[in-house]
Each structure stands twice: as C-alpha cells, then as structure tokens.
C-alpha cells in the first residue's frame, strides 16, 4: 500500500516498558499521591519491529485467504471497511471456485515505512506504507489498529495512492507522528465530518473537494449512467463513522491531515416494463439474494484517504487521493 515517512526508531521505551505503561495503574495511596492510569498516558502505538511483524502477519494471512478463497484464514487480521470488502470478495470467489483461487498470485509488500503516532487510550494505530507487486507503481497504505494489548493488529483501511501524492508527516524528536482528533478544528473539515461531507457532495456537488477521479469525475459518470434506454439507476450514499469505521487521521508536515474514512453506497438498477436488468457478472450473482426481475440493488462499502488542508492555509478544498470500493451484497426483485 502507500508510503510512510514514519519514525526512525523507538529509543528509550523497550517492549516491556511499553506494556507496563499501557496496562498498569500505579496507586500511591499511603501519602495521598496521584494515581497514574496507563490508558491515559501518551505512548507510541507500537515499535518499528512490532509494526513490521504486524504487516508480515497480515500479508501471510491475506495470501492464504486469497489462495483458498476462505475468509476465516484472515478474519483475525482485518476489520472495518477492509473486512467488509475482503469478506464479500472471498465469498464470491469461493462460490464460483470451490477449490480455491485458480489465478492466485501472492501479494508481496516491500520498502515498507511506518508512521507511528503517539496517543493516549485505545484504540492505538499506525500507518504502513509499502510498494506492492500489484497495483502498478502505487504505494499501498494500510492502517493497522487494535483495541488492547491482548488483541491482534488488524487492518481497517487499505488504499492505493500514487507515490508523489503521499504527504510528509509531522514528527517529534523521536520520529513519532501526531494523531489528529476526529473533532479537530484546525483543519478545513474535522476528520469526523469527512464521511458525511463526502457523501453529501456525491449527492449535490459543491466546492468542498478538489476535482478528480473520486469526486467530480465520479459524479459525472453516475449522471451519465443514471438514465439509459429501458434502465434507470439510482444512487444513495451514506456516511459510516462509528466503531471500526471511525476515521483516523495523521498530522502532515504542513499542518493539515491525512484522513482515512469510510462510506456506504447503494446502487439500484430498475428496468422498464417489458425489459430486464442486464445480467450482472458471476461475482455479483454470487452475492445476490432474491430473483432479479425488474430491479437489482447493490450495496458497496468504500474506504477513502484524503488530504485535509490546515485551516486558513490557501485552498481549503479536500483532495481525495485514493478510494477502494467493494460490493458487499445485492438484492434482486
């Protein structure tokens, strides 16, 4: 996935110190001293070695699941938008190829860089940015998250971005990054509002986003496909912002933020009387319930990554750098 300009090393905190600080509450009650709660301490999410191990574990599991078309093989390593997209993809693959993926090519990720923020509380998370053997020259950007030390690292977001589009991140003296809160007011759009603003833009347009493949060009393509002879297509877009779909943002060197967020989409095709909906491909059919007569409603989950400029810094438009969308289910009527 994509590039990372993450920390160079975890200097003074070794693994044991990190665990102790994260899970221990030290009570000095005899003298009435304060209580220090590990979950409130601002700590690095992981060490470089832990991040590298998490990436390797994910890649191994992802490849096994893809080879066998079996979502149980990587279920422990995916969550949120990626889990929805990956699970549906594997389900369709298994339905059409019960013996496994006949075109399986293992994913390899190299030149990995890790951007690891310091933050208090859970979940903690980090960004892995790597070159892949798929997706051309794009960088693979994977956001790993976990809700506690006894939980595995899981990938919630996976996007592909052109190398020159990956920003530089703000880091401290030890090389650690800064997580931007969902309600931050020092960027053009609070990260927690991006999913809502983006889905509103897809419906009505506006000037909040820069032109590109995932903004005005997508709206133009939808408008073109909305009405064809004998077929009408309707689009509904909804934000997804809670739980594993919560947005995650990193401070960029220029004061803005790189934000990962999720959206939910419906696409309904309705055929005119006397005609029928075009027969979808076999992967769509594998995820379809009901009989396709006059309509087909497809549900998609999409995960996006966007550059959110610092408030007051020149152009205040958000740039959507990458988007990966997957069909999760369909209903025929």
Same domain, 205 and 312: yes
Nearest alpha carbon to residue 144 among 164, 129, 161, 165:
129
Percent of the chain with pLDDT over 70: 88
User: Residues 45-70: what's their mean pLDDT?
Assistant: 98
Q: Which of 154, 177, 200 is the last residue of a domain?
A: 177
Same domain, 109 and 253: no
For residue 19, pLDDT over 90 is answered with: no
pLDDT in tens, 249-290: 999 999 999 999 999 999 999 999 999 999 999 999 999 999
For residue 31, pLDDT over 70 is answered with: no
Burial class for 66, CB neighbours closer than 10 Å (0-12, 13-18, 19+): buried
Same domain, 151 and 242: no
Nearest alpha carbon to residue 43 among 19, 24, 64:
19
pLDDT at 39: 58
Query: What does DSSP say about strands 177-178 and 124-132: parallel, antiparallel, or unpaired?
Result: unpaired
DSSP string, 32-82: TPPEEEGGGS-EES--HHHHHHHHHHHHHHHHHHHHHT-GGGTGGGB-HHH
pLDDT in tens, 185-212: 999 999 999 999 999 999 999 999 999 9
310 to each of 207, 237, 248, 256, how far by Cα in Å? 17, 27, 16, 4
Find the domain containing 98 and state its range.
Answer: 1-177
Same domain, 148 and 206: no
Same domain, 172 and 233: no
Same domain, 159 and 201: no
For residue 313, pLDDT over 60 is answered with: yes
- Residue 287 near residue 327 (C-beta atoms within 8 A): yes
Same domain, 69 and 92: yes
Same domain, 103 and 42: yes
Q: Which of 134, 157, 177 is the last residue of a domain?
A: 177
pLDDT bracket for residue 41 (50, 70, 90):
confident
86 to each of 65, 70, 112, 301, how far by Cα in Å? 9, 10, 22, 10
For residue 7, pLDDT over 50 is answered with: no
pLDDT bracket for residue 12 (50, 70, 90):
very low
**Buried b / exposed e along 76-89 (16+ C-beta atoms within 10 A):** ebbbbbbbbbbbbb
Distance CA 177, CA 51 (A): 14
Q: Which of 122, 149, 177 is the last residue of a domain?
A: 177
Neighbouring-strand partners of residue 35: 27
The maximal CA–CA distance of the chain, rounded, in angstroms, is: 85
DSSP string, 9-26: ---S--HHHHHHHHH-EE
Same domain, 8 and 142: yes
Same domain, 58 and 152: yes
Peptide bond into 123 cis (omega under 30): yes
Distance CA 42, CA 219 (A): 42
The domain total for the chain is: 2
pLDDT at 15: 36
Same domain, 77 and 199: no
Same domain, 5 and 136: yes
């Amino acid at each position: 996935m994509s590039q990372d300009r993450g920390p160079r090393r975890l200097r003074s905190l070794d693994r044991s110190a990190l665990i102790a600080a994260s899970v221990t509450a030290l009570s000095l009650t005899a003298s009435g001293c304060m209580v220090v709660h590990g979950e409130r301490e601002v700590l690095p999410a992981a060490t470089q070695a832990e991040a590298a191990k998490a990436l390797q574990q994910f890649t191994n599991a992802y490849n096994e699941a893809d080879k066998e078309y079996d979502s149980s093989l990587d279920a422990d390593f995916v969550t949120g938008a990626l889990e929805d997209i990956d699970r549906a993809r594997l389900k369709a693959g298994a339905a059409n190829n019960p013996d496994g993926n006949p075109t399986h090519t293992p994913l390899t990720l190299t030149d990995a860089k890790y951007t690891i923020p310091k933050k208090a509380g859970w979940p903690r998370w980090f960004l892995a940015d790597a070159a892949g053997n798929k997706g051309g020259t794009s960088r693979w950007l994977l956001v790993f998250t976990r809700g506690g030390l006894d939980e595995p690292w899981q990938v919630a977001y996976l996007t592909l971005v052109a190398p020159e589009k990956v920003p530089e991140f703000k880091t401290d003296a030890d090389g650690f990054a800064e997580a931007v809160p969902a309600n931050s007011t020092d960027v053009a759009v609070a990260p927690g509002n991006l999913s809502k603003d983006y889905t509103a833009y897809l419906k009505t347009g506006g000037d909040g986003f820069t032109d590109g493949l995932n903004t005005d060009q997508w709206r133009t393509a939808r408008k073109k496909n909305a009405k064809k002879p004998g077929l009408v297509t309707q689009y509904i877009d909804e934000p997804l912002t809670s739980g594993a779909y919560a947005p995650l943002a990193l401070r960029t060197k220029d004061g803005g933020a790189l934000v990962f967020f999720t959206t939910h989409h419906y696409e309904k095709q309705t055929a005119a009387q006397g005609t029928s909906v075009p027969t979808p491909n076999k992967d769509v059919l594998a995820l379809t319930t009901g009989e396709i007569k006059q309509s087909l409603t497809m549900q998609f989950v999409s995960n996006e990554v966007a550059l959110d400029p610092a408030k007051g810094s020149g152009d205040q438009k958000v740039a959507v750098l990458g988007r990966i969308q997957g069909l999760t289910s369909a209903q025929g009527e």
